[in-house]
A and B are shown apart, each in its own frame.
Chain A
């Protein structure tokens, strides 16, 4: 076996824990609004298919929330276990968003308990309200956690004196420049990824079974959420890119594969950056594109990697390629969202029945998640070698505990097993085509009785 350095093991373990937690958490954030929409439609129309959908998505939320909660607990411990010196230095500055997240999480856990097990105990309005609280507090959790990551990218609210933080102002730290745009970008990404994934899975089942209302309605709700999020994501991505251009020019340069500082910088599509020759080859260049996007002016000067010492560069190839993947998928999903929205607006809803459209949805189902993970690679790898941008290097934050490759292997296996079981359970309980008897039972009220 090739010996692995502890810092590499720590970074890999953190990356794996985050990559898995993000998938679990995103579904846990995005399923509740869909489940609430379905329940609201049921209360309005009394159509049992909607109730069946609400109950299915509630089960999905239950499974994913539980796994998201435990994998999130792992992360809160791991920050200390892997990066104790980061937590010792910055704990006070980033504690506030984590505390607020704790309370949001509390609220979510309480009302999810009520939603899942309170069908017979709470009134219909109180039950629907519980679902809404779950959806809102899930969104709030995601928001607060992203503020922390924003702070690591654009740290504010303190003075550095002899290597220690003094005059910490937690509200200023909370309002760091990257935080809010990043949080909005992530929440939209959650809705987009989970919405398209759900729509795609139901499209696959619809293609395989005889036409039925269950999948049609599931696709309608999932696509309404995912498609609209994809459209707004374009605006949010632009805002975040401009924040990055001002605050983290090195990251933007790596995202674009820009080695040279220049005015009227072109926007690159695709291409492979080569750090040896300091050139990005094979890209389609749109003249003035980057200057316009980043600073809203065709002549604006955009800093290249030449402004940063070579030792402080992130992995340019990884960051650039991940960014291209994210943007390409984002554009495609936004286009599908726009076209579908336009067709619905024109009342030409027949397209939702066509097999071609269903097949497109199937192909799109993993794309949102790929874009989401690629986006996190951009922001995390793009911040390197810093754990706190221009304040603390990742290599200075790592624990002195030896043998980290062991825990890396342990947690990787744990997450792989968890994922396998979650996928198996979801396919059995959440997305399988319901039997007619199941919907019949719900129709005559055997499934649930409200208090």
Chain B
């Protein structure tokens, strides 16, 4: 690891992975809130809210870390992305504001059921739209249409992101988060009927993930040809694809066999490998076709100090995060929160 730009890119990918695994599942929870059906819909919503409440803000910080490390370590890439993708990025921040604030507002509107329901609606809709926009950003970065010279976007403000492929990546991301949330919720619930509700939902959304993965791959052929050929390269990428498939099947079979805790681990690994498969086919480009990791990187001195700061930050962060997860996600989910 003599190249700090590569090392920082790996750190960025790790943060993005954590954001997908934890923050992503919080979005997925919001979608299941929107789709709550049947005789136990009230209990489903409560389960989702209680699962998200203690951790969502910590989970959200992974995104902030990604943004901050991106502009600190790769300023020209950040400037280019924020210029060409102004519109979907604006949609994301509005989504983030609506999702976060309506979740808190709902939590404190305990007296009045109707108002609470209205906030819940905003929360659920924002939880659905935001991850689609996040996926659109990823798709746009991969499609090679972001070309910004002297602060001017050569492809305008729509072409870089408005297309079939970015949209497919958006829906694919949503399906991943929805699947992840359903799998987590099977572990979170102590009630067998609720567990069955989310087991069914996890199985259905697992199939949806497989379908969307295939569709996204096909649309990459014209939408992001570099990524398409990258994914077909008979190299380490194939190992990553293979691992994704193995973990996807494991998660599915474990759900069928009601081995929820193993399913949770397998699903997390599945998502991780999908992300890293994308990362590897994107390498060495930060913005596909236009700007490599090394093109965009700040000077090595800046990068090394950033890496050192992240390292010392982790010393503080890891024990704190483990303590949080130990209190709320390791076998004592049944304790009341208030």
Contact = CB atoms under 8 A, between A and B. Distances in A.
Interface of A: 59, 62-63, 65-67, 69-74, 76-81, 84-85, 87-92, 94-96, 98-103, 105-107, 109-114, 116-122, 166-171, 399-402, 407, 410, 414, 418, 421, 425, 428-429
Contact of A78 (B76, B93, B305): B93
B96 A95 contact: no
Interface string B58-87: 101101110111011111101111110010
Given A114-B323, A401-B83, A109 B58 contact: yes
Contacts of B83: 84, 399-401
A419 B305 CA distance: 39
Interface of B: 53-55, 57-58, 60-61, 63-65, 67-69, 71-76, 78-83, 86, 89-90, 92-94, 96-97, 100-101, 103-105, 108-109, 111, 151-153, 157, 298-299, 301-302, 305-306, 309-310, 313, 316-317, 320-321, 323-324, 327-328, 332, 335-338
B336 A80 contact: no
B312 to A, nearest CB: 8
Nearest to A399: B83
B100 to A, nearest CB: 4
A67 B104 contact: yes
A410 B72 contact: no
A80 B151 CA distance: 11
A61 to B, nearest CB: 11
B306 A95 contact: yes
A116 B64 contact: no
B83 to A, nearest CB: 5
Contact of A77 (B60, B73, B92): B92
Nearest to A122: B327
A105 B78 CA distance: 21
Contact of A70 (B53, B97, B151, B324): B97
B317 to A, nearest CB: 6
B315 to A, nearest CB: 10
A314 to B, nearest CB: 25
Nearest to A72: B64
B57 A85 contact: no
B68 A111 contact: no
**Residue among B63, B104, B153, B299 with the most chain A CB within 10 A?**
B104
Contact of B299 (A71, A88, A96, A168): A168
B36 to A, nearest CB: 22
Contacts of A62: 104
B317 A91 contact: no
B73 A84 contact: no
Contacts of B86: 81, 399, 401
13 contacts: A73-B96, A77-B67, A80-B82, A81-B82, A85-B151, A91-B71, A95-B71, A98-B68, A99-B65, A107-B316, A110-B320, A113-B58, A414-B97
A95 B302 contact: yes
Contacts of A69: 57, 60, 100
A74 B93 contact: yes
Contacts of A169: 301
Contacts of A66: 57, 100-101, 103-104
Interface of A is mostly: helix
B12 to A, nearest CB: 12
Q: Which of A62, A114, A117 has the most CB of B within 10 A?
A: A117
Contacts of A118: 54, 327
Given A80-B71, A114-B54, A418-B101, 14 more contacts: A77-B67, A95-B73, A96-B72, A98-B68, A100-B313, A103-B316, A103-B317, A106-B58, A106-B65, A107-B317, A110-B320, A111-B320, A402-B157, A410-B90
Residue among B75, B94, B157, B313 with the highest chain A CB neighbour number at 10 A: B75
B13 to A, nearest CB: 16
Given A70-B97, A99-B69, A117-B54, A92 B337 contact: no
B90 A81 contact: yes
B321 A87 contact: no
Contacts of A79: 71
A91 B94 contact: no
A418 B324 contact: no
B77 to A, nearest CB: 9
Contacts of A63: 104, 108
A262 to B, nearest CB: 42
Given A96-B306, A114-B324, A89 B317 contact: no
- From A72, A91, A113, name the one whose CB has the most chain B CB atoms within 10 angstroms: A91
A107 B65 CA distance: 13
Contact of A95 (B68, B100, B101, B337): B68
Contacts of A67: 100-101, 104
A402 B158 CA distance: 12
A77 B82 contact: yes
Contact of B68 (A99, A401, A407, A418): A99
A428 B69 CA distance: 39
A165 B313 CA distance: 26
Given A113-B328, A117-B337, A401 B157 contact: yes
A418 to B, nearest CB: 6
Contacts of A74: 93, 96-97
A63 B63 CA distance: 20
A73 B161 CA distance: 22
A141 to B, nearest CB: 11
Contacts of A95: 68-69, 71-73, 75, 298, 302, 306
A145 B111 CA distance: 37
A364 B323 CA distance: 41
A95 B74 CA distance: 10
Contacts of B97: 70-71, 73-74, 414, 418
